[in-house]
Structures are given as C-alpha cells and as structure tokens.
Amino acid sequence: MPALRSAIGNSLAGAQGKTVADQNKIDKTMAPGCALGLYTPAECDRHTRASAARRSELK
C-alpha cells in the first residue's frame, strides 16, 4: 500500500468543504482509506474532528 498512499497523498485528511455536499464527498473519499489503513489513525482522527467542526459551521 505504500505506492497507493504515495499516489493519493495525505492532504485530504482534515479537508473542509464549502458546502455540506462538498463535505459529504470528502468524507466518502476519506472513509475507505481510513478503513483500509491507508491513512494513519492520527490522520483519520484529524479528519473526523475537522469534518465535525465544518459541519457545525455549515448548519
């Protein structure tokens, strides 16, 4: 998986969308990488917190 991680990168972790629909797309892209262990637990946790914060802002 190192080659896949290298190809995808890790800049998506913590990304925040401009709309709820954008955030949904980002989260759906991150979730499989977290489930497969492509991203580190710290990256997944950072994204979970950032996503929750952004969703609160968008309400």
Nearest-angstrom CA–CA distance, 25 and 10: 16
pTM of the model: 0.81
Q: pLDDT truncated to tens, each residue of the chain (59 aa)?
A: 778 777 777 778 888 899 999 999 999 999 999 999 999 999 999 999 999 999 999 98
Domain contains 3: no
Domain contains 37: yes
Range of the domain at 28: 18-58
pLDDT score of 13: 83
Domain contains 10: no
Check if the beta carbon of residue 43 is closer than 8 Å to that of residue 9. Answer: no
pLDDT score of 52: 96
Tokens standing for residue 7: 């190809």
Domain contains 2: no
Closest Cα partner for 5 from 53, 52, 43, 47? 43
